[in-house]
Amino acid sequence: MVDNRTVMESGRCMECGAEGIDGFSCYELFGFPLVWEHNDPKLYDLHFWLVSCYMIQHPSNYTEEGYRQLVRLFIDAYDHDWDTAYILKRNRELMKNVDKLTNPLPNKDRQRKLAFWSMTIEDIYLGGEQQAIANIIRWKKQIRHELG
Residues 48-70: tens digit of each pLDDT: 999 999 999 999 999 898 899 99
Q: How many CB atoms lie within 10 A of CB 140?
A: 21
| Average predicted confidence (pLDDT) for the chain | 91
The CB-side HSE value for 104 (13 A sphere, CA atoms) comes to: 3
pLDDT band at 1 (very low <50, low <70, confident <90, very high): very low
The three state secondary structure string of the chain is CECCCCEEECCEECCCCCECECCECHHHHHHHHHHHHHHCHHHHCCHHHHHHHHHHCCHHHECHHHHHHHHHHHHHHHHCCCCHHHHHHHHHHHHCCCCCCECCCCHHHCCCCCCCCCCCHHHHHHHCHHHHHHHHHHHHHHHHHHHC
Tens of pLDDT along 6-57? 788 888 999 999 999 999 999 999 999 999 999 999 999 999 999 999 999 9
Work out the average pLDDT over 76-92: 94
pTM, 2 dp: 0.92
Residue 2: predicted pLDDT: 40
Query: pLDDT band at residue 5, thresholds of 50, 70 and 90?
Result: low
Residue 73 has pLDDT above 90, yes or no: yes
